[in-house]
Structure 1
Amino acid sequence: MSDALLTLKGVHTHIGPYHILQGVDLVVPRGGVAVLLGRNGAGKTTTLRTIMGLWQASQGAILFDNAEIQKETTPAIAQREIAFVPEDMGIFTDLTVHENMLLAARSGAIDKERLNWIFGLFPPLKTFWQSAAGNLSGGQKQMLAVARAIIEPRKLLLIDEPTKGLAPAIINAMIAALRELKEMQTTILLVEQNFSMARAVGDTVAVMDDGQIVYSGEMAELADDAELQEKLMGLSLEAHQ
Structure 2
Amino acid sequence: MSPTLLKLAGVHTHIGAYHILHGVDLEVPEGQVTMLLGRNGAGKTTTLRTIMGLWPHSQGTIEFAGSKHRQSTPEIAQQGIAYVPESMGIFSDLSVAENLLLAARQAKRLQDLDEARLNWLFGLFPALKTFWQYPAGKLSGGQKQMVAIARALIEPRRLLLIDEPSKGLAPAIVQNLIEALRELKKQQTTVLLVEQNFAMAKALGDRVAVMDDGRVVYTGAMQELAEDEGLQQRLLGLSLGAHQ
Q: Say yes or no: TM over 0.5.
A: yes
Do the aligned partners of 2:21 and 2:47 also contact (CA within 8 Å) in 1?
yes
Partner residue, 1:90? 89
What is aligned with 1:203?
206
**C-alpha distance in structure 2 between counterparts of 1:238 and 1:22, whole Å:** 30
Runs of 4+ in 1 over 2 A off after TM superposition: 237-241
Q: CA deviation at 1:237?
A: 3.1
2:226 equivalent in structure 1: 223
Q: How does 1:158-237 map to 2 (within 5 A)?
A: 158-237=161-240
Alpha-carbon shift at residue 239 of structure 1 (Å) = 4.2
1:1-241 equivalence runs, <5 A: 1-69=1-69, 71-108=70-107, 109-240=112-243
Q: Contact conserved, 1:149 with 1:157, CA < 8 A, in 2?
A: yes
Asked if 2 retains the 8 angstrom alpha-carbon contact of 1:193 and 1:240, the reply is: no
Deviations 1:189-230 (A, max 9, x none): 000000000000000001001000111000000000001101
Larger mean CA deviation between 168-177 and 152-161 belongs to 168-177
Cα offsets for 1:161-194 (capped at 9, x unmatched): 0001111221112111111112212100000000
Show structure 2 runs of 5+ residues with no match: none
Structure 1 position 34, deviation (Å): 0.1
SS in 1 for 2:92: coil
**Partner amino acid, structure 2, of 1:138:** G
**Deviation readout 1:136-174 (Å, 9 max, x if unpaired):** 000000000000000111100000000011112211121
SS in 2 for 1:228: helix
CA contact (8 A) 2:13 2:20 kept: yes
- Tell me, what secondary structure is at the counterpart of 2:93? coil
**Percent of pairs with identical residues:** 70
Provide, for residues 46-73 of structure 1, a one-character-per-residue CA deviation record: whole Å limited to 9, x for no partner.
000000000000000000000111x210
Equivalent residue of 1:58, what SS?
strand
Q: What TM-score results when the alignment is normalised by the length of structure 2?
A: 0.96
Whether the 8 Å contact between 1:84 and 1:149 is mirrored in structure 2 is: yes
Specify every segment of 5 or more residues in structure 1 that has no aligned partner in the other structure, as ranges.
none
How many residues are matched? 240
SS of 1:216's equivalent in the other structure is strand
Deviation at 1:235, TM superposition (A): 2.2
Q: Is the 8 A contact 1:179 1:201 kept in 2?
A: yes
- 1:221 and 1:178 map into 2 onto residues whose CA distance is 21
Specify whether residues 28 and 235 from structure 1 end up closer, same or farther in structure 2 by C-alpha distance, changes over 3 A only.
same
The one-letter code sitting in structure 2 at the alignment partner of 1:179 is R
